[in-house]
Structure 1
Amino acid sequence: MKRSYDALVIGAGAAGMMCAARAAQRGRRVLIVDHATSLAEKIRISGGGRCNFTNRTVNASHFLSQNPHFCRSALARYGAQHFVSLVERHGIRYHEKTLGQLFCDDSSQQIIDMLLSECSDGQVDWAAPVKVEVVSREADGRFIVRTDHGQFDTGALVVATGGLSIPKIGATDLGYRIARQFALPVVAPRPALVPLTLDSETLAALAPLAGAAFDVVASCADGEFRERALVTHRGLSGPAILQISSYWQRACGDGRPEPVRLNLLPDHDAAAWVAQHADSNALLGNLLGEVLPNRFAKAWAELHGWNTPLRQTSAKTRQAIAEALGNWSLAPSGTQGFSKAEVTLGGVDTRALSSKTMAALKVPGLYFIGEVVDVTGHLGGYNFQWAWSSAVAAGEAL
């Protein structure tokens, strides 16, 4: 026996629950289908368990997409201030960290509970955990969703299945398969906000320094971020590296791989700093230890063959040292993959969707929201805000 709904949402994560709640509170009969035994795991583990649920400042410049203007409409109509108002209405205490990032004071579970409460207020129905086996569209335009626990039909189908990041908590490619089934193009998914790996020669010198952290300005293509970088046993991580990884991945995907460049002295003019110490008898590694973590400073100088007193180096070498300190060029060998990625770069091509409603332009009644879409935010609450904004855009249209 089929059960009929006005709207069916596949995926009970941030975007899925937000969309279902908004549509149901508008009087629609809504069902959420999800395969997970524990709902919204990505919310639960985010922000160290406190959920960086949005950012004080959100605009289109904080997102990557093949169509950089696509996200403007949804963000303008449901922005950070709207979600903050919802959080406050539910009595959730929160605080601001660096760069406008907003976190729960207590637990990310509060955001999950808030979304569940919003769904309950709209009398959303649930089918979880169930596995979606087949999705089809009838001649009358309604969708049939067959699961291992029954079959449902719906006038509108919302795909909120997320991307491929963090497969251990249940990420799958279901959303992309549904898109392709209905002839929607998909921008090749890549790991984003992900640690970078380095070649064996560089890694041999730096791997023993795993744990060393320092401020940098990281840049690649048209991206630039000043935050912390971290040496790991496989390469580089830390907020600055996670941020720039998305830009590096995009450049690689466009067939124009570029190096990642690190300014190791963001508070100094590197040439002036080298000139200031040009007559020093101290080893370069020891001098750099005054402005960088000591172990890292010595290893970096050794890596370049420059761990000698600056006064014993030529003007040409000092120039090279200054250039490397202000613009250290690294060619990553890859990333640590989806298992370590916070989000997915790429997804359902926005050229096939309405920026106002998130509906497929050529398949009436089919919607895609959240991470499954080719809109990827910076680190700092932006990807959750895209989930909320795109979900409301679809929820208001259902």
Structure 2
Amino acid sequence: MAPGMKHYDAIILGAGAAGLMCAARAGQRGLRVAVLERAAKPGKKILISGGGRCNFTNLHAGPGNYLSANPHFAKSALARYTPADFIELVERHAIAWHEKTLGQLFCDGSAKAIVDMLIAECPDSVEVICDADVSAVVKDGETFAVSASGESYAAPALVIATGGPSIPRMGATGFAYDLARQFGLKVVEPRPALVPLTLGGEDVLFRELSGVSAPVRARAGAGSFDEAALFTHNGLSGPVILQVSSYWTPGSEVAVTFVPQEDAEWLVQMKRDRPRASVRAALREHLPDRLADALADRLGIERELGNVPDAALREAGARLAEWRFSPTGTEGFAKAEVTIGGISTGELSSRTMEAKRVPGLYAIGEAVDVTGWLGGYNFQWAWASGVACGESL
């Protein structure tokens, strides 16, 4: 090894959620760990998450809330480190928290409390080294040698925890994939997830509703969610669209149910109860006026309900229950909260996160082909995979 090289039991690339959790667990087991972070401070993505309050887990997190080429891969780690385990850690550090909606847990105060907690969990045997820009990684026998910002580091274990390319303004890159390929690991083609969708063609007419939000049901592929949709200058966003974006594939449609609390016969029933009402008025009772008017205009039924045949009202109800949009694409990694795809789970042990064909090489967190729903699920995967790795180094 080169003179001046610093020796450790493990080197972790990336001081994000997964990397710091892994470092803390490994350090608590007595290992000497170097965490190399390219940014000036650790946990940058944690700090901006949840509007600065960090949606640090979800009470309902389980394998069914994750997408992967192998949906069974996440089961082991998630079963061994649960939301309750992380809540216990948060409470041990006296961090106040609250449930927002749908099991989403946030800090009462700043997300910085979570970063500070993770750093505090790291014993003296863990060094977090920032402004460390990795320029080379090689394996010499059973030792990994890492060159970063003029320094050299060596260890028998190397952990890839550099995340995916989502949110490039935070310094995110595809470095994890390049490194995985260097060592012969397969990578599932990454694409943006939890990302707004863009609209074109006839759907462009909905851009006039930019800023309007409404609770809807949205479906794409195998994903169906009930939350708010937001119309934007570019297309569709809001929690429900971010959720289904993970299931949407180019060329396919997104189906939106605009009044999910009503059945297909609701307009016919309203005709019986209030024959002088209009479709426009009926929609305004459930949706923001601008959205109700836009939908009514497109349905083209201006007469009082009492003068409209039941068949036409059923047809209108069916269209409102299955309003189809054909997205032209997504707003890309720049607006994506996470990445779908990544280092193939087929290359890794689900118990330890170690590469099956490269002893001593590990991958955790968003770098791996495991992607959670919106709402704290991706953090829970970071904690769980970090613990699984940290306990096996």
Corresponding position of 1:76:
79
For residues 182 and 370 of structure 2, the distance between their equivalents in structure 1, rounded to whole angstroms, comes to: 21
Return the TM-score normalized by structure 1.
0.94
SS at 1:172 equivalent: coil
Paired AA for residue 215 in structure 1: P
Please state how far the C-alpha of 1:208 moved relative to its aligned partner.
1.9
Please state how far the C-alpha of 1:128 moved relative to its aligned partner.
1.4
Please state how far the C-alpha of 1:313 moved relative to its aligned partner.
4.3
Corresponding position of 2:284:
289
Please state how far the C-alpha of 1:308 moved relative to its aligned partner.
4.6
Please state how far the C-alpha of 1:364 moved relative to its aligned partner.
0.2
Q: Of 346, 365, 378, which aligns to 2:373?
A: 378
Alignment of 1:105-254 (within 5 A): 105-119=108-122, 121-138=123-140, 140-203=141-204, 205-249=205-249, 252=250
Please state how far the C-alpha of 1:188 moved relative to its aligned partner.
0.8
Corresponding position of 2:336:
341
SS at 2:358 equivalent: coil
For residues 94 and 270 of structure 2, the distance between their equivalents in structure 1, rounded to whole angstroms, comes to: 55
For residues 287 and 354 of structure 2, the distance between their equivalents in structure 1, rounded to whole angstroms, comes to: 50
Paired AA for residue 184 in structure 1: L
For residues 201 and 316 of structure 1, the distance between their equivalents in structure 2, rounded to whole angstroms, comes to: 25
Greater CA drift, 214-223 or 271-280: 271-280
Indicate if the aligned counterparts of 2:41 and 2:130 stay in contact, CA closer than 8 A. no
For residues 302 and 213 of structure 2, the distance between their equivalents in structure 1, rounded to whole angstroms, comes to: 21
Greater CA drift, 230-239 or 368-377: 230-239
Indicate if the aligned counterparts of 2:82 and 2:384 stay in contact, CA closer than 8 A. yes
Please state how far the C-alpha of 1:201 moved relative to its aligned partner.
2.2
For residues 119 and 262 of structure 2, the distance between their equivalents in structure 1, rounded to whole angstroms, comes to: 50
Corresponding position of 1:92:
95
Corresponding position of 1:259:
253
For residues 194 and 9 of structure 2, the distance between their equivalents in structure 1, rounded to whole angstroms, comes to: 36
Give me the CA root mean square deviation. 1.5
Alignment of 1:22-61 (within 5 A): 22-61=25-64
Please state how far the C-alpha of 1:358 moved relative to its aligned partner.
0.4
Paired AA for residue 325 in structure 1: L
Deviations, residues 275-319 of structure 1 (Å, cap 9, x unaligned): 423774544223211111111111122234444544454444323
Paired AA for residue 5 in structure 2: K
Please state how far the C-alpha of 1:122 moved relative to its aligned partner.
4.3
Flag structure 1 segments of 5+ consecutive residues without an equivalent: none
Paired AA for residue 161 in structure 2: A
SS at 1:98 equivalent: coil
For residues 122 and 236 of structure 1, the distance between their equivalents in structure 2, rounded to whole angstroms, comes to: 48
SS at 2:6 equivalent: strand
For residues 183 and 17 of structure 2, the distance between their equivalents in structure 1, rounded to whole angstroms, comes to: 24
Please state how far the C-alpha of 1:79 moved relative to its aligned partner.
0.8
Return the TM-score normalized by structure 2.
0.95
Tell me whether 1:366 sits opposite 2:367 in the alignment: no
Greater CA drift, 275-284 or 353-362: 275-284
Q: Of 313, 318, 322, which aligns to 2:317?
A: 322
Deviations, residues 343-388 of structure 1 (Å, cap 9, x unaligned): 1111111011000000000000000000010000011110000000
SS at 2:22 equivalent: helix
For residues 265 and 362 of structure 2, the distance between their equivalents in structure 1, rounded to whole angstroms, comes to: 53
Please state how far the C-alpha of 1:233 moved relative to its aligned partner.
1.1
1:307–1:383 Cα change, 3 Å: farther
Indicate if the aligned counterparts of 1:286 and 1:294 stay in contact, CA closer than 8 A. no
Please state how far the C-alpha of 1:58 moved relative to its aligned partner.
1.4
Tell me whether 1:268 sits opposite 2:262 in the alignment: yes
Flag structure 2 segments of 5+ consecutive residues without an equivalent: none
For residues 224 and 373 of structure 2, the distance between their equivalents in structure 1, rounded to whole angstroms, comes to: 11
SS at 1:358 equivalent: coil
SS at 1:99 equivalent: coil
Greater CA drift, 91-100 or 312-321: 312-321
Corresponding position of 1:388:
383
For residues 134 and 118 of structure 1, the distance between their equivalents in structure 2, rounded to whole angstroms, comes to: 29
For residues 280 and 206 of structure 1, the distance between their equivalents in structure 2, rounded to whole angstroms, comes to: 29
Paired AA for residue 257 in structure 2: N
SS at 1:247 equivalent: coil
Paired AA for residue 288 in structure 1: L
> How many pairs were matched up?
389
Paired AA for residue 361 in structure 2: L
Paired AA for residue 264 in structure 1: F
For residues 228 and 133 of structure 2, the distance between their equivalents in structure 1, rounded to whole angstroms, comes to: 41
1:287–1:360 Cα change, 3 Å: same
What's the % identity of the aligned pairs? 51
Greater CA drift, 269-278 or 365-374: 269-278
Paired AA for residue 230 in structure 1: L
Deviations, residues 24-67 of structure 1 (Å, cap 9, x unaligned): 11011100101101321111011111101001121100100010
For residues 131 and 309 of structure 1, the distance between their equivalents in structure 2, rounded to whole angstroms, comes to: 68
Paired AA for residue 196 in structure 2: P
